[in-house]
Amino acid sequence: LKAFLLKDPKRLRRWADSVMSVSLHGFGSLYLAVFLDSYGAFMVLPLLPFIALSLQASPFEVGLMQASYCFTQTVGTVLLGAVSDRVGRRRVLIVTLFFCSVSLLAFGLSSSMWQLILFRSLHGLFASTVSVCEAIIADGLDPERRAPAMATVMSAFGLGLVLGPGTGGLLAPLGFPAVCFAASGMTLANAAWAWWQLPGPGSAAGGEGPAAGAPDAAGAARGEGGRGGALASLGQAAALVRSSPDLAILYVMTLVQTMAFGAFMGLCPLFLHDVYGIGGSLMGFMFAAAGITMVVCQASVTGIAVTGVGELGSILLGSTVRVLMMAVFALVVSPAVPWVAFLVLVAAASAIDPCMASMVATAASDKNRGAVLGVYQALRSLGECLGPLWAGAWYEASPTGPFLGSAAVAALGGG
């Protein structure tokens, strides 16, 4: 680090200036929308395995409940990303937040396992806030400033990860419905905030001007108005994958990495309960500590890694750390391991996710960036869907097996 700073001590200053510049050009309300959405969603996350177990669910059914959310998120993110190219980012963002609120409310009223799976699936269908916000940012910024902006989005997401699980842990003694109702109210407030605060048509930050593919005169001049719609955007994204080997490789890496991380996170609460006796409240505070780590690392580690080894180097570095820590989590039983594993894995993600999103956005054009980022987020959701399914089936035979398998899969994704 000393050699790096002596070589060019102004690099980190330029990175900080980029982040501040992004924040001051109409994106502050966007970051707040991401924060509020993750805050509401993460309030219920640490308690999900325990409410499922209270309904006599098997480990596979716990994994299925987690996977159902990710599967429908896969479908919803692709479709809504393409639709946002057609009708505008802001409209899509507000509608998805509203229906997320409704599904969380219904989730809290569930009294059977099939209801939990149904309403968890509906929540996933409309959980596309991050991909839409990333598309808005990509529309309004040049490639050099996108990585800091994507890192700020993930920091806002991480701040929700800090406060959401902790709040859920505090509300846990009041019962699972109380946590869901609070999360639903927070998400509904987020929809109202987005409607009131996010810039409207014609603003870069609003995502409803020509860059977002709205059907106006400029869009018609580019062939967007009324002729392609969402399917055209998806077709353009597919054509770009065929013509861009780099984008195809990024997509494959995204799918494999998130499948490994999804398997780990989907069964981690169950493993911690069975091996360490950790319950819902303490689990919430562990997630909160991980969120703090995410915010700190997104504000510091990401900038150092990108300016030092580049975006691709940051991805490879984070992947290596992820593999090693997953193996330690499975093989070493110690009270300190769960805390260290959570914190280090989140730090590794801070070196992977913003850089991956930035590289994908750079490979897209203004006309189809929403669809391209939608496919990227959908592959993340698909990986998070497939991971808990095979991990849940494996867990019944060997509790440590899914975590060693996650390490092996992550190694493939990093290579």
Higher-scoring residue by pLDDT: 86, 234? 86
Say if residue 44 is in the same domain as residue 192: yes
Say if residue 141 is in the same domain as residue 273: no
Higher-scoring residue by pLDDT: 243, 232? 243
Say if residue 185 is in the same domain as residue 269: no
Say if residue 262 is in the same domain as residue 360: yes
Give residue 235's pLDDT band: very low, low, confident or very high (50, 70, 90). Answer: low
Q: Which of 168, 198, 228 is the last residue of a domain?
A: 198
Nearest Cα to 319, choosing from 289, 344, 291?
Answer: 344
Q: The domain that contains 65 carries what CATH number?
A: 1.20.1250.20
Query: In sequence order, what DSSP letters do the residues of 328-359 get, joined into one string?
Result: HHHH---TTHHHHHHHHHHHHHHHHHHHHHHH
Q: What is the pLDDT of residue 214?
A: 36
Give residue 284's pLDDT band: very low, low, confident or very high (50, 70, 90). Answer: confident
Tell me which of 1-15, 101-115, 247-261, 323-337 is least confident. 1-15
Give residue 8's pLDDT band: very low, low, confident or very high (50, 70, 90). Answer: low
Whether the Cβ atoms of residue 397 and residue 59 lie closer than 8 Å to each other: no
Say if residue 254 is in the same domain as residue 123: no
Q: What percentage of the chain exceeds 70 in pLDDT?
A: 77
Express each pLDDT in 56-77 by its tens digit.
877 788 778 878 887 887 788 7
Say if residue 89 is in the same domain as residue 146: yes
Say if residue 53 is in the same domain as residue 183: yes
Q: What is the pLDDT of residue 2?
A: 40
Q: How far apart are CA 234 and CA 203, in angstroms?
A: 24
Say if residue 194 is in the same domain as residue 251: no
Q: Which of 135, 170, 198 is the last residue of a domain?
A: 198
Q: How far apart are CA 130 and CA 407, in angstroms?
A: 26
Whether the Cβ atoms of residue 19 and residue 151 lie closer than 8 Å to each other: yes
Domain count, the chain: 2
- Is 125 a domain residue? yes
Say if residue 177 is in the same domain as residue 248: no
Say if residue 64 is in the same domain as residue 181: yes
Tell me which of 113-117, 199-203, 266-270 is least confident. 199-203
- Is 223 a domain residue? no
Express each pLDDT in 123-150 by its tens digit.
888 876 777 777 777 777 766 667 677 7
Those residues whose C-beta lies under 8 Å from the C-beta of residue 3, and which sit 6 or more positions away, are none
Higher-scoring residue by pLDDT: 385, 234? 385
Average model confidence (pLDDT) across the chain: 75
Only one residue has tokens 């280090």, namely 344
Which domain does 108 fall in, by range? 28-198
Whether the Cβ atoms of residue 128 and residue 89 lie closer than 8 Å to each other: no
Express each pLDDT in 354-364 by its tens digit.
888 888 888 77
Give residue 204's pLDDT band: very low, low, confident or very high (50, 70, 90). Answer: very low
- Is 75 a domain residue? yes
Say if residue 188 is in the same domain as residue 275: no
Nearest Cα to 255, choosing from 13, 63, 70?
Answer: 70
Greatest Cα pair distance, the chain, in angstroms, is: 63
Is residue 18 scored above 60 in pLDDT? no
- Is 4 a domain residue? no
Give residue 292's pLDDT band: very low, low, confident or very high (50, 70, 90). Answer: confident
Q: Which of 161, 177, 198 is the last residue of a domain?
A: 198
- Is 163 a domain residue? yes
Q: What is the pLDDT of residue 368?
A: 67
Higher-scoring residue by pLDDT: 48, 225? 48
Q: How far apart are CA 130 and CA 149, in angstroms?
A: 12
- Is 19 a domain residue? no
- Is 359 a domain residue? yes
Q: What is the pLDDT of residue 102?
A: 92
What one-letter code names the amino acid at 168? G
Express each pLDDT in 19-51 by its tens digit.
444 444 456 667 777 787 777 777 887 777 777
Is residue 217 scored above 70 in pLDDT? no
Say if residue 172 is in the same domain as residue 252: no
Angle between helices 301-331 and 245-276 (to 10 degrees): 50
- Is 14 a domain residue? no
Q: How far apart are CA 248 and CA 245, in angstroms?
A: 5
Q: What is the pLDDT of residue 201?
A: 52
